[in-house]
């Protein structure tokens, strides 16, 4: 494994960490500060998109409008932005209709969509190492979110539906932007994609800013969600696609629930049982399997 492949694995794992830590901040805002799932999705996408475009334009001195002047680029970016919107909205809807465990379990089916599409596009069979890594990742995440008890999972039909739809949208956004990434810088692509996705949702469901409890704590957590849990995560995720195949990047997103558990232990006093520890071990075995792959 060369340095570029290692960098790709690190970036994909870091994206998972940012998403996992973001989920803790988002849960706090929804439970204690009056943020609804739809409102938080809108504010997250719109705020992150505008932040990234501002940074790219003012600090990096890039022409953020050049990319959208071309009709093909604008179309591809809009499709990507709508994909981001579907990912976030369906995931929160899955939690609302069932619970976080159900949503997380359903989202772990995402690599199945990526691996299946990649194999179809390349006209090849799914490799044994991909099946092994997928089984390790799915088993590890399942043990972590269920704590080894199936009675903690409320597999409602509606909740499972939204969770699987979120997984499918995530797989789509793993593969779809690869072509436009050759023509548009990653920061511009992600910035416009998030801005467009957030703007669309804002039009159809304007956030109720008055009902939200804006305090220094909620403000800091919202900034973390926007700056690190969204902008940093998606940039790391898309950049990793330049160094490792899409199935590997998708599988490494298992660091999302892993980081959520670790931060829960460190910050919220979460106690791990044997099943959760085994799940963490399985995820690290998955990472080792991919890292040692030639």
pLDDT at residue 27, as a whole number: 79
Q: Is the pLDDT higher at 135 or at 79?
A: 79
Q: What are the residues whose beta carbons fall under 8 Å from the beta carbon of 39, sequence distance 6 or more?
A: 205, 207, 208, 212
106 within 8 A of 94, measured Cβ to Cβ: yes
What's the number of domains the chain is made of? 1
Percent of the chain beyond pLDDT 70?
88
Nearest Cα to 29, choosing from 17, 18, 41? 41
pLDDT band at 293 (very low <50, low <70, confident <90, very high): low
Task: Name the average pLDDT for the chain.
Answer: 82
Q: How many CB atoms lie within 10 A of CB 9?
A: 20
State pLDDT tens for residues 2-31.
Answer: 788 888 888 988 888 888 788 788 878 888
d(CA 279, CA 284): 9
Q: What is the DSSP string of 137-192?
A: HHHHHHHHHHTT-GGG----HHHHHHHHHHHHHHHHHHHGGGTGGGTS-HHHHHHH
Percent of the chain beyond pLDDT 90?
18
Q: Is 98 helix (H, G, I), strand (E, B) or coil?
A: coil
User: Residue 278, class by beta-carbon neighbours within 10 Å (0-12 exposed, 13-18 middle, 19+ buried)?
Assistant: middle
What does the longest C-alpha to C-alpha distance in the chain come to? 55
Q: What is the pTM of this model?
A: 0.76
pLDDT at 254 over 80: no
Full domain range(s) for residue 129: 3-291
Q: How far is the CA of 239 from the CAs of 187, 211, 247, 249, in angstroms? A: 10, 37, 14, 10
d(CA 266, CA 272): 11
Q: How many CB atoms lie within 10 A of CB 119?
A: 15
pLDDT at residue 180, as a whole number: 86
């Amino acid at each position: 494994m060369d340095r570029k492949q290692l960098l790709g694995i690190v970036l994909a794992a870091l994206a998972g960490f940012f998403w996992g830590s973001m989920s803790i901040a988002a849960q706090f805002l929804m439970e204690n500060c009056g943020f609804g799932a739809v409102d938080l999705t809108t504010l997250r996408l719109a705020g992150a998109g505008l932040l990234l475009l501002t940074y790219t334009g003012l600090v990096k001195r890039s022409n953020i409008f050049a990319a959208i002047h071309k009709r093909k680029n604008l179309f591809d970016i809009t499709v990507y932005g709508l994909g981001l919107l579907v990912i976030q909205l369906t995931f929160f809807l899955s939690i609302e209709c069932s619970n976080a465990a159900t949503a997380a379990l359903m989202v772990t089916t995402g690599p199945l969509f990526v691996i299946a599409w990649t194999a179809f596009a390349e006209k090849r069979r799914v490799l044994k190492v991909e099946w092994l890594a997928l089984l390790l990742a799915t088993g590890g995440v399942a043990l972590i979110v269920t704590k080894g008890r199936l009675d903690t999972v409320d597999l409602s039909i509606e909740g499972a539906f939204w969770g699987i739809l979120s997984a499918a949208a995530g797989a789509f956004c793993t593969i779809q932007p690869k072509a436009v990434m050759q023509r548009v810088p990653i920061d511009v692509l992600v910035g416009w994609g998030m801005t467009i996705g957030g703007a669309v949702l804002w039009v159809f469901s304007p956030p109720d800013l008055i009902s939200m409890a804006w305090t220094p704590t909620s403000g800091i957590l919202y900034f973390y969600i926007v700056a690190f849990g969204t902008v940093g995560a998606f940039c790391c995720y898309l950049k990793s696609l330049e160094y490792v195949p899409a199935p590997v990047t998708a599988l490494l997103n298992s660091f999302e629930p892993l980081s959520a558990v670790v931060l829960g232990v460190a910050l919220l006093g979460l106690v791990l049982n044997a099943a959760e520890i085994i799940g963490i071990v399985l995820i690290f075995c998955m990472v080792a399997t991919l890292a040692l792959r030639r």
